Structure 1
């Protein structure tokens, strides 16, 4: 009996030690898990704080840029309005610059050879109320281009930006472009239609009216062809030249005499509509236009011919 009691006591004691040992392991594991959980929560919290700070900085930078752009736009609009108001209220009392042929007034610029006062341009004037369905097309550094309808024909309307009407350089370039466009007459150069303006000293509504080229210029056409799948391209990959086929000139064009340039060289190719065009015919059209420009004395420089567009591209698309 004593031995049995001793054995049971020893067994209970061993069981108690095992339970205490297991308890210590559980406590250690619990402490380790608590430490890992705390570290994980701290890491996630730190990342969240960093992310929120980054987003806040980005948002603040965007708001600052937007505010800066808005203030700059407000200043530009205010300056434009000031120029237009001075242009309306003032007449052409100005000092004359003999070298440039330009008269500079308050808030506006008047050329000594202003096309609005040139009798050679009187018959080219088209009333503004005859231009319908004006639609914005593009804006450059100093000018803006609209699409309009005149005599049931789509034309391009080019004007000075109101904010640039006081710029001597931009106004001078625009006047030179008008005179050049009115002089050129060639089937591969955009045709001059006329001018439009209202009475007064402001240049903001002076408009150069030309043929509208729906497919843009030569560079734009070539870039478009490069991005277009081969099966859908309008420019044939070969250099074979088709037979030329003449077509009548546009009925809306108003042009000036340029010294009797032969109309026998004026041609358009029906192949652009029927089967696309070849590289040879395209190069021939451009070369023909450039040869025409070089026939002038003095020669018309290429950089000054802003109206050289691929007129034959108007037939495609």
Structure 2
């Protein structure tokens, strides 16, 4: 079975036994995870911050988001919970209780007001929640097949669908409140496979377009999508391909692309419009166990290990790994 097919098969277990065995265990427990022994970057007070830390057993992480403060938020594939951990200590707890089995949280982002935008996977949902109160604010039924990842832009939150050639645009008010969802069909160079296709999403450095991983087209391509009409064009990355491309992170003109089954992050330098990029590095680490998404704080990148190579049980261990930025 190809790596993208294996990844897809793992995620399709969400509505089956894995979700049933884990959701009740993790959901709403407020369980605190203790910091790992590995220490690394020093905080502002001179204390060492952990270079990795555990998540609750059976949590089944996929997405990560870091906002304006040194806290990371993780979504659970099992029951949709959102877990917040301090980057300074590695300790954390569930801050948003999920809707239960069949309502996973895949990709997620947090805005400056503390509002979380959650991709609902095979539930087809887009959800918003308040990270401070834990309240789930809105639930939108897209009618989609697998709402995977999300990026925030001025005026909208954009979501990918891994099994349909379309994006979802959640319109926002001036103060960032969600309004309504529009479906934007993908055209141009977009090629839709029979299995997992669209995955991670970002903006171009100049903010004029969206960048979307297409794991199917030509061995795995990065696509530049015009947000006005959904027209996609393949980004020129030379010989580089993203067959296992998952989460994307843009810092300036540096794009980090997680290649989950390769246990690696491929790093590209993009031009301003995002039409061309050059491969500059590959980050690997022996602690990687099928990482999926990436977020940054300071000079570090943080990645949850999704461990799609094992069947989840109530005792399955999950963790987060921190590595240096390029």
With normalisation by structure 2, the TM-score equals: 0.25
Task: Name which one, 1 or 2, has greater alpha-carbon Rg.
Answer: 1
Which structure dedicates a bigger proportion of its chain to strand? 2
Which structure dedicates a bigger proportion of its chain to helix? 1
With normalisation by structure 1, the TM-score equals: 0.26
